[in-house]
Structure 1
Amino acid sequence: MTPQEIQSRVLYKDRLILVINKPAGLPVHAGPGGGPNLEASFHHLCFEHPRAPGLAHRLDRDTSGCLVLGRHHKGLKRMGKLFQQGKVGKIYWAVCTAAPEQESGTVSLPLRKMTPNGGWRMVVDPKEGQESITDYRVLGRSRDGMAWIECRPRTGRTHQIRVHMAAIGAPLLGDPLYGQADRRAMHLHSRSVTIPLYAEKPPITVDAPPPAHMVQALRACGWDG
């Protein structure tokens, strides 16, 4: 990304952290094979600091929205502690190909990583999986059966929302791994984060506008943005 492109994605900035609007389809860091990644542009986000910020957490390649960066060691350490303690509020918007039976609820299904030949995926495993909990509620529906769902993960497992929504009969639109592959990009967006960063101040809440590829489906489900 150019300096202007990455800087235009800054949603919040203070002395400790940055929150940026991650684009869908771009991994946050380089994989084993290298390739384009968001972290390669972080040196454009130094502003008055001498070093580039670092990732305080991760988002999947195909997930868009709020991504928190620590601007230096102190910011990263504080954010790491808040994420570890489960004190960061996270809201995701998903557009799913169907609605779950219940309008709202909690999915508590342990997950583990499975690595068969040709790739890997997360699977529900009550015996060996790690605790994984997601609260959800249906915000709207389309005439053709799609559902706009707000997800609030209490844990941060890889692919957690994708697996949990598929498990209750509401796979994400455009999810090639846990739903039906089609030409559309995956419809999962990190809508907001709420961060109790400073003890003497109210929590910081940052919202990210949905990406262009999700707008049509969201509006069909009743979003009026």
Structure 2
Amino acid sequence: MTDAVRQFTVGYDDDGIRLDRWFKRHLVDTSFTTVAKWARTGQLRVDGSRATPGDRLKAGQILRVPPPEAAKPDAARPKRERAPLSEDQIAFAREMVIHQDAQAFVLNKPPGLATQGGTKTSEHVDGLLDALQYDAEGRPKLVHRLDKDTSGALLVARTSRAAAFFAKAFSGRTAKKVYWALIVDVPSIEDGMVELPIGKQPGTGGEKMQVDEENGQAARTRYRVIERAGNRTAWVELQPFTGRTHQLRVHMAAIGHPIVGDGKYGGAAAFLTGGISRKMHLHARRIRVDHPDGGKIDVEAELPTHFRESLKSLGFDEMLGNMMPLDEPTPPSKAQMKTRAKAHAKTVRKARRGERRVRGEREKA
């Protein structure tokens, strides 16, 4: 047991959470009675100010927590330690890495893998992070989360300094994320902004969200249609400007275009016939964020197999999705996208010819 005061940086995904709920999520061995006592005696502070259990936290704030209290002898119980990872788990964790530097990893999380543990959830990204510690002193830290069935780019900090830096980037909305999704039917407006507040749906224990005009938190999502398959479905780019739980899924369902495979918010209507996978078609395609040491991290994550096969089955050209610059205020026309796609394809073919030529020269040598 340590007798040192502890400090924690509030993460992006904890933005807006009550202080007592933060303890339930991150310091599960600390009882509410203890939290209340710390608050009452002024030992619990947020950004240097006294805090109460009901205070709402903001991402990037510094939480000062007293050292853990000694357990009573009759209540003492062995500390639960993480089981060592198997070789297969280590290999799996490292295969997810698509970017690595001294301060961060970016993982390409597969669909079906939870980001963090919970009730009946033993397999998750957080449980695999020991595989990415290597020779560093501290364990890598999650900066944000993706839903279990959402695939794609997930940022992980390698140091406490980087974790605090990234948390502020997310809370300050300077970090940008782009998602790809297949949605049911085609929006009448091809480039739109959804601005609907989101709150917890009563009776679901916080497992499901809903549009809540009275008590919900502000939420904004931009969508842009990349391609359409008649009136049956559309492939869209989604850009969240806030970070509410299940935001993209709730917003698209609310405007009548649920994400394909999202039965939780779209019901039976979210599933397409014709051999389209029943898995959710929501993918964190790209993440761009300032780097703690200067410059930027800007990484794209490849699509999972089921999403790529669905695009192909519907006749969509995956290359068109890369033709929309992240900061472009309005999407280019289809003619412009196809022109860019052709130029991109030409560049790729030229590079491949160069690679083959180099290999041929090496073989001759």
Superposition TM-score tier, normalisation by shorter sequence:
over 0.9
Say yes or no: does 1:188 pair with 2:275: no
Counterpart for residue 223 of structure 1: 317
1:32 and 2:119 are equivalent in the alignment? yes
Which residues in structure 2 correspond to 1:60-139 (within 5 Å)? 60-116=147-203, 120-139=207-226
- Does the aligned pair in 2 maintain the 1:99–1:169 contact within 8 Å? no
Whole-angstrom CA distance in 2 between matches of 1:107 and 1:63: 20
How far off is 1:208 after superposition?
0.2
Q: What is the alpha-carbon distance in structure 2 between the residues aligned to residue 71 and residue 198 of structure 1?
A: 11
Q: Distance in 2 between matches of 1:39 and 1:17?
A: 15
Distance in 1 of aligned mates of 2:205 and 2:173: 34
Amino acid aligned to 2:317: W
> What is the distance in 1 between the residues matched to 2:315 and 2:217?
33
Secondary structure of residue in 2 paired with 1:216: helix
**Greater mean deviation of Cα atoms: 34-43 or 125-134:** 34-43
Once the two structures are superposed, residues 178-220 of structure 1 have per-residue CA deviations (whole angstroms, 9 ceiling, x without a partner) of 113457111100000011124742x221000011111122232
Q: Where do 5+ consecutive residues of structure 1 fail to align?
A: none
- Whether the 8 Å CA contact 2:162–2:292 is kept in 1: the answer is no
Name the CA shift for 1:215/1:55 in 2 (closer, same or farther; >3 Å).
Answer: same
Q: Partner of 1:165 in structure 2?
A: 252
- Conserved 8 A contact 1:106-1:133: yes
1:207 to 297, 300, 305: 300
Contact 1:43/1:51 (CA < 8 Å) preserved in 2? Answer: no
- In proportion to residue count, which structure has more strand? 1
TM-score, with structure 2 as normaliser = 0.58
Return the alpha-carbon distance in structure 2 between the equivalents of residues 167 and 125 of structure 1: 11
Q: Which residue in the other structure is 2:332 paired with?
A: none
Q: Tell me the distance in 2 between the aligned counterparts of 1:117 and 1:66.
A: 28
Alignment partners' CA distance in 1, 2:245 and 2:205: 18
For residue 84 of structure 1, what is the amino acid of its counterpart? S
Q: Say if 1:66 and 1:206, in contact at 8 Å, map to a contact too.
A: yes
Letter of the structure 2 residue corresponding to residue 175 of structure 1: D
What percent identity do the matched residue pairs reach? 37
Deviations 1:101-122 (A, max 9, x none): 2101100000001132687421
The two structures have a TM-score, normalised by structure 1, of: 0.93
- Cα contact 2:103–2:292 (8 A) shared by 1: no
Flag the structure with higher helix content: 2
- State the match for 2:83 in structure 1: none
Unmatched runs of 5 consecutive residues or more in structure 2: 1-87, 272-276, 320-365
Equivalent pair of 1:166/1:178 in contact (CA under 8 Å):
yes
Q: Residues 207 and 115 from structure 1, CA distance in 2 versus in 1: closer, same or farther, beyond 3 angstroms?
A: same
Query: Secondary structure of the equivalent of 1:177?
Result: helix
Work out which of the two has the higher radius of gyration on C-alpha atoms and give 1 or 2: 2
Per mean C-alpha deviation after superposition, the further-off stretch among 29-38 and 146-155 is 29-38
